[in-house]
Structure 1
């Protein structure tokens, strides 16, 4: 798939959010972690700063930091405007307001942008995309994917979802996906059939509640044991 810069809507989260949405324990932070469809998140930078091992992959990494920055500038206010228009569908206990949300997101993405050139050279950021990943079997202990699978159920097929999840299961011993909602805030209709197919193939798939919730009802992840 060829990705075009003008089609990208970059939106990055920080380490605290990632830890909450994936229910990562202090011991689990020590694992070899793959962050799929990672975008301009500061998770890799902040984990690396704490001397943990994370590789992030995303097709957006084919572009340089300046190009990604320009796209962030072009799209961020529109995202906030959409969030304001749907204010009551979000939980504001931690993020407080759309204006503060923008500050939090921009702070995370600024950390990413500063880290990206060196991180790309160090191969902590790799240009790759689901459903095909350039890694050996069981390379990682844990593969994470946030705000991509299930969220875009109306744009990405059931086959794409299953292929992507199986690919993450190939390269990691455990997979966690968050959230399980569509963009509209409803549970993805793909969730149950995906779990059934994974179970048929011998994987153990569980829905687990987490402490993170921004979309109302978006406080569950799918945890898959290989």
Structure 2
């Protein structure tokens, strides 16, 4: 089943839309993750407030994104601009989303602005400490440096902008630096269709040491988008 291809959110670049801790908690089934004794990497974390909120709750989270080479003021202005742009487009595509977690577009916008504000406050204090400038598909992290790695609304979602090689190289890099499990959400692209790259990755002979499992979650904003991909290295 797919969404209406002629009426979906039209985005030709990766946008800065932040998610809050509660969204991450449900997207990635974090109820099974302990706090202080688990090292978590947030990949392409953008202006999400997960890192800020999670660390305040006792988790050990590092955020990573290429935008972290910019000043807080620059990121904030870009974040505000992206929220405004996307919210203007939402009414015409609202039927492609489930309005349960968010009751309406105003509630969605308020959450995105709240995430941006919480992120910026934390980023000002912890830039270059727990917010690290990383340009995927590669990083300077150590082998098995993190217990859990989370990828939210980046891989698969932007499959028309990020090609298969980028996806493959990124997952290989994450498998190297992650000790236990990589979790990617959602598995659909911007058209609401399951990404074609998932089956390719699962059958790629160069990734045969990785175990792929599709897991349902209790977060579903994009219709058909309530699954995450869990990846483990079977050689560890």
Q: In the alignment, does 2:188 pair up with 1:181?
A: yes
Is the 8 Å Cα contact of residues 57 and 127 (structure 1) preserved in structure 2? yes
Aligned with 1:71 (options 55, 66, 78): 78
What residue is the counterpart of 2:161 in the other structure? 155
User: Which residue is equivalent to 1:3?
Assistant: none
Aligned ranges 1:19-34 → 2 under 5 Å: 19-25=25-31, 27-30=33-36, 31-34=38-41
Map of 1:4 onto structure 2: none
Q: Find the aligned partners of 1:176 and 1:37 in 2 and give their Cα distance.
A: 13
CA shift, 1:24, in A, is 0.8
Aligned to 1:171, which of 174, 177, 181? 177
Alpha-carbon distance, 1:130 to partner = 1.2
| 2:133 corresponds to | 127
Equivalent residues of 1:21, 1:210 under 8 A apart = yes
The aligned counterpart of 1:84 is 91
Structure 2: distance between partners of 1:110 and 1:219: 26
Q: How far has the Cα of 1:101 moved from its partner?
A: 0.3
CA distance change for structure 1 residues 94 and 221 in 2, over 3 Å: closer, same or farther? Answer: same
Aligned to 2:150: 144
CA distance in 2, matches of 1:79, 1:185: 16
The runs of at least 4 consecutive aligned structure 1 residues that moved more than 6 Å come to: none
- TM superposition shift of 1:25: 1.7
Give the corresponding residue for 1:214. Answer: 221
* TM superposition score normalised by structure 2: 0.89
Instruction: Tell me if the contact between 2:201 and 2:207 (Cα under 8 Å) persists in the aligned partners.
Output: no
Q: Is the deviation greater in 200-209 or in 214-223?
A: 200-209
Contact 1:13/1:41 (8 A) holds in 2 = yes
158 and 111 in structure 1: CA distance in 2 versus 1, 3 angstrom threshold? same
Range moving further from structure 2, 43-52 or 192-201: 192-201
Q: Distance in 1 between matches of 2:113 and 2:71?
A: 17
Q: Distance in 2 between matches of 1:21 and 1:198?
A: 29
1:199 Cα offset (Å)? 8.2
Which consecutive residues of structure 2, in runs of 5 or more, have no partner in the other structure? Answer: 1-12
Write out per-residue CA displacement over residues 58-112 of structure 1, whole angstroms, 9 at most, x where no aligned residue. 0111111111111122221110122221010001112011111000110111000
Scaled by the length of structure 1, what TM-score is found? Answer: 0.93
SS in 2 for 1:73: helix
Q: 1:180 and 1:38 mapped to 2: Cα distance? A: 17
Paired position in structure 2 for 1:12 = 18
Secondary structure at 1:48 match in 2: helix
Distance 1:139 1:189 in 2: 30
How far 1:129 sits from its partner (Å)? 2.1
Count of paired positions: 219
